[in-house]
Amino acid sequence: MASFQVYTDESGELADSNCVSFAGAILEADDIPAFNRKWKKVLQESGVTYLSMSEAMNSRGEFRTWKDRTKDRDELLESLAALSHPYSCWYTNSTLDAAKFAKYPEALRKKLRGIAYAGFEALIKGIAEHPAIPHDAHFHLVCDLSETYSLKCLKLFHRLRMMHSVYRLMFTALSFADDHDYPPLQIADMLAYCFRQEYLGTPAPIIIRLLSIFRREKRLPKRELEYANGSGLGNGIITLPN
């Protein structure tokens, strides 16, 4: 049995953001201890204990003394992205435009159960539909421990598994963790932040460089979620563009 862990995070407030990006990094379970050691070593050498993209880009928190160290920050971010790339089997992303979602007919919005559900289902479906997945793959979802996000993820996970047997077979566990302590969640934070900035159309040069690293030899879905009446996965109501 092939065992993977899927680390997910979101960027953008669910209630009032221009758009919300959900991103995931998929790693083989056996590779995670070695990756964690290397990631923490790079951070330690830079005087940082964890990575938050929002803090890094706005000189807050761990990066509060880095305001005039843009070059150092960019080099650190690029080195972390490059480190994570060979350990990540692939990435997945769904980015939703809040204004576009709000214009859907009321009946459709009710069916989608809100922007959080739509984004989470699209993220899961992006994993389930990946062409390189072994037939016996099992996935353990690890979500960021967030007051805004955690309870929604738990409810959505249960609903998805009830929708169709493929989800029950593939997605066998869900847990929550503090991203300060789990480096793979910091990759997901980086991905979600970068995808959201790209979608908004004003990515900083470092964001463009990071995305180019993540996209090297990795199959990434298109950045915008689309609604579809049908799905190849039972009663699913969301699909990602081809």
Determine the pLDDT at residue 203.
92
**Nearest CA-CA partner of 35 in 207, 238, 182, 231:** 182
Tell me the pTM.
0.85
Is the pLDDT at 188 greater than 80? The verdict is yes
Determine the pLDDT at residue 103.
79
For residues 129 and 39, which has the higher predicted lDDT (pLDDT)?
Answer: 39
CATH H superfamily, domain 3-239: Ribonuclease H-like superfamily/Ribonuclease H (3.30.420.10)
Kindly give the residue spans of alpha helices, DSSP state H, lying in 141-204.
150-163, 165-170, 183-200
Is the pLDDT at 15 greater than 70? The verdict is no
**Nearest CA-CA partner of 159 in 219, 112, 224, 91:** 112
For residues 150 and 173, which has the higher predicted lDDT (pLDDT)?
Answer: 173
3-31 mean pLDDT: 82
Determine the pLDDT at residue 232.
38
49-70 mean pLDDT: 96
Measured distance between the N- and C-terminal CA atoms of the chain, rounded to whole angstroms: 28
**Nearest CA-CA partner of 179 in 168, 171, 190:** 190
Report helix, strand or coil for 233: coil
Is the pLDDT at 2 greater than 60? The verdict is yes
Reported confidence tier of residue 217, pLDDT bands at 50, 70, 90: low
Task: Give domain limits for the chain.
Answer: 3-239
Reported confidence tier of residue 229, pLDDT bands at 50, 70, 90: very low
Is the pLDDT at 10 greater than 90? The verdict is no
Q: Where does the chain show beta strands of DSSP type E?
A: 3-11, 19-28, 88-97, 138-144, 171-177, 226-227, 238-239
Determine the pLDDT at residue 228.
41
Listed range (18-32, 99-113, 173-187, 204-218) with the worst mean pLDDT: 99-113
8 A C-beta contact, residue 25 and residue 184 = yes
